[in-house]
Amino acid sequence: MRKDGGGLIFLMISHPAAQILQLPFLTDLFSKVSAEYPVLKALVPNDIPYDTKSSFSLYINHRETFTGITDNDRSLTMKKFAELVQRTKDKDSKTAIKELGKEFRSPGHIPICIASKKLLNERKGHTELVISLLEMADLIPVGSGCEIMGDNGKALPKEDAKKFAEKNNLVFLEGNEIIKAWKQWSK
């Protein structure tokens, strides 16, 4: 992801799984402490051109990482987070939070984004697209992602992304294909 993607490497989690872990949205945390830290009020993300609220939550590192930024450290953090979500899916929040704290620390180098409650019926972002795919496949509702950047520093154009997928023997799906499948699956 770091070499071929170039964008921010992040985790995505379903809303129900985030609720079990009681993961907050960063905007809510910032809002609650903005009286003490006025800079946070000045930085409110109230002008996001594609959405009404940022889906970012906490940034984590697994406790077995060193700096947390190396490829191995980030890979370990992402893998162990997915395993934790799977282990705690049927546990109460108190137990899940205890296990999260035992295994992870924050701040860290891997941001977590929380999918909207109604997934693609509410928002059509990368987080919701990935979590919807995972839900349809009956897999752990945790994904990782990274936007592929072009040499010009902007997101890789769709045609170039298709060529990249073909060259690397990867499946290329467009958002509207996932949305169509979701509508049929979630009836």
- What confidence tens digit (pLDDT) does each residue in 97-132 have? 999 999 999 999 999 999 999 999 888 999 999 999
State residue 75's pLDDT score: 97
Q: What local confidence, expressed as pLDDT, does residue 46 receive?
A: 82
- Mean pLDDT of the 24-41 span: 93
The encoded tokens of residue 109 equal 């180098």
Q: How far is residue 137 from each of residues 13, 102, 141, measured CA to CA in Å?
A: 15, 29, 10
- Residue 57: the pLDDT is 96
What radius of gyration, in Å, describes the C-alpha atoms of the chain?
Answer: 17
User: Tokens 């009286």 belong to which residue?
Assistant: 35
| pLDDT value, residue 47 | 85
Ramachandran region, residue 138 (left: φ > 0; alpha: ψ -120 to 50; beta: rest): left
CA distance 126 to 24: 19
Q: Domains in the chain, please, with CATH?
A: 10-185 (3.90.870.10)
What is the C-alpha separation between 165 and 150, in angstroms, rounded?
14
Can you read off the two tokens belonging to residue 118? 């109604």
